[in-house]
Structure 1
Amino acid sequence: MNKQAILTLATLGAATAATAALDINLPGNSTQSVWSDMNSSTLTVGEGYNNFGTNTAGWSTPVSPNSGTATFDKVAGTGGYPGTDSIYNFDTPGSFFITENSPLANLETVVFQSDAVGGMMVAPTLSYNGGSQALAAINTFVVGGDFSGMGSNSTIFGYQWDLSGIVDPISDFTINWTSVVHNGNYEMQLNQGDTFQVVPEPSTYALMAGIACGALILMRRQRR
């Protein structure tokens, strides 16, 4: 393994389990938006968010991230309200969207992760520049999450889009999806990068990180 390959593994593949999502290290320039603590303690009913039993209307106030510039919102007519631990769907599916009006310059890839108990009824699609392209993710991954609720452990659902072939500058984009009934969405993460490279399968992260770490140690020993 040459030095360049070692550095590639160290920067691209060394993703480790983090709160709510895998720590995605994209090459080139990148940005990240994170939503954590999405529950009734932080999203107060009466400040734009529905309560149990009144979950058929859209939110009047989107959920701002703890860090980053994107926003998270609910489509009218579907489930989704701040529960004790998560954004929860009762007995109706929840349709949601993330909007980014200040995307990274020269955007080539987007990675979206949701740490939830439940799952996706309709997989996320991405549209850009005010359009309705509804692009499907070219790469998906599923890995164990960090939460436990409703008798089940959470799962991280990950989706990656390749936008490198889009000629026009991307001035905005929206990700839409529908989650199943009784879905609890605990935390989310959105990564943007200006250099496309497929995110490795989660099962290879530890192996790749270990290989990179061992190779770097070997390189240091050889310099002595």
Structure 2
Amino acid sequence: MKFHVLLLALSSPLHAAISFTLPGNSESAAWTGLNATNYTSASGYPSYPTATNPWPAAIDPDSGSTANGSFNKVSGGGYFASSSLYDAGTPGTFSISGTTSLNPETIIFQADLGSAFGSDPVLSFNGGAQSIAASHTGTSTGNFSGGFGGPPVPSTNYAWQWDLSSAPENISSYTIEWTTAPHGTIYQLDLAVADSFTQVVPEPAAPLLALLSFSLLSFKRRRESSNY
């Protein structure tokens, strides 16, 4: 399966995600219905602000090709509100785990949030505790909005890409773990796993650095011209 992803928002199913194109073989997963309508208290999922109890079961993706991926709460806050997964001021630690036969060279994780992350996600593989930071990061405008009594605030889609092409062993399983910021809101999660690495998630500082370099060069040329 090939992804068709540009730096645009897709309409479906990864409607809030940064889009990209990866060569080779790939798998995908998306968790799009993280709310109390789909995960009810009657089924054992927390639906009140003080809940820190474990979930009765990990959540399978509701779209994509990675049927063996799972989303779970590790510890802390996080209950299913009317339109999102919300930590109500008590940060929660969450994970996405999966197995794959691709021996991936890259994994891309995206999260559409109504808040900043408490800690950037880290990746481990084959049951280890590597806690690898992403190689590349980026952001785009999300597809949701919310607020507490004020005007709606647009969400932000965060993206992280890991370059695993130099991993010392074949990768058959992986876990991505992160912690929310206080009052963290999660609307949607997206995952892509591929057997070749191509950087598709930009560093957000790169355009700024390029602009700064251009400005400094222009200033230098103007200054040199004024000396003649």
Q: What TM-score, normalized to structure 2?
A: 0.79
Q: Which residue of 2 aligns with 1:16?
A: 8
Residue matched to 1:47: 43
Checking the alignment, whether the CA contact within 8 Å between 1:20 and 1:188 is kept in structure 2 is no
Q: Which amino acid aligns with 1:59?
A: W
Between stretches 121-130 and 16-25, larger displacement belongs to: 16-25
- Cα distance in structure 2, aligned partners of 1:61 and 1:12: 32
- Distance in 2 (CA, whole Å) between partners of 1:153 and 1:46 is 31
In the alignment, which residue of structure 2 is the partner of 1:114?
111
In structure 2, the residue corresponding to 1:165 is in which secondary structure?
coil
Q: Which residue of 2 aligns with 1:73?
A: 72
Q: How does 1:143-162 map to 2 (within 5 A)?
A: 143-150=140-147, 151-162=152-163
Deviates further, 14-23 or 139-148: 14-23
Identity over aligned residues, as a percent? 36
Residue pair 1:12, 1:199 contacting (<8 A) in 2 also: no
Give the one of 56, 60, 67 matched to 1:60.
56
User: Which moved further from structure 2: 175-184 or 22-31?
Assistant: 22-31
Asked whether the equivalents of residues 96 and 177 of structure 2 are also in contact (C-alpha less than 8 Å), the reply is: yes
* Separation of aligned partners in 1, 2:60 and 2:5: 29
In 2, Cα distance between equivalents of 1:120 and 1:104:
30
By how many angstroms is 1:22 displaced? 1.8
In the alignment, what sits opposite 1:210?
none
Cα RMSD over matched residues?
A: 2.0
The 8 Å contact of residues 143 and 202 in structure 1, kept in 2 or not, is answered as no
- Which amino acid counterpart does residue 174 of structure 1 have in structure 2? T
Matched with 1:221 is: none
Structure 1 range deviating more: 51-60 or 120-129: 51-60
Q: Deviations over 1:96-151 (max 9, x none)?
A: 00001x22412100000000100111110000011110000010001110100124
Give me the TM-score of the superposition, normalised by structure 1.
0.80
Equivalent-residue separation in structure 1 for 2:157 and 2:91 (angstroms)? 18
Q: CA deviation at 1:62?
A: 1.0
Larger Rg computed on CA atoms = 2
Consecutive aligned runs of 4 or more in structure 1 exceeding 6 Å deviation: none
Aligned-partner SS, 1:46? helix
Q: Cα deviations across residues 50-87 of structure 1 (Å, max 9, x unaligned)?
A: 121442122121111012321100012x1111110000
Q: Is the 8 A contact 1:139 1:160 kept in 2?
A: yes
Three-state SS of the structure 2 residue aligned to 1:63 is coil
CA apart distance, 1:15: 4.2
List per-residue Cα deviations over 1:140-191 (Å, max 9, x = no partner). 0011101001241100011000111113221210000001111110011000
Structure 1 gap segments, 5+ residues each: 1-10, 205-224
**Greater length-normalized contact order (CA 8 Å, ≥ 6 residues apart):** 1
Compared CA separation, residues 52 and 167, structure 1 to 2 (3 A): same
Give the 3-state SS of the residue equivalent to 1:32 in structure 2. strand
Give the alignment of 1:96-107 within 5 angstroms.
96-100=94-98, 102-107=99-104
How much has 1:202 moved relative to structure 2? 8.6
Gap change, CA 1:200 and 1:124, over 3 Å in 2: closer
Partner amino acid, structure 1, of 2:20: I
Alignment of 1:1-224 (within 5 A): 14-18=6-10, 19-67=15-63, 68-69=66-67, 70-76=69-75, 78-100=76-98, 102-150=99-147, 151-201=152-202
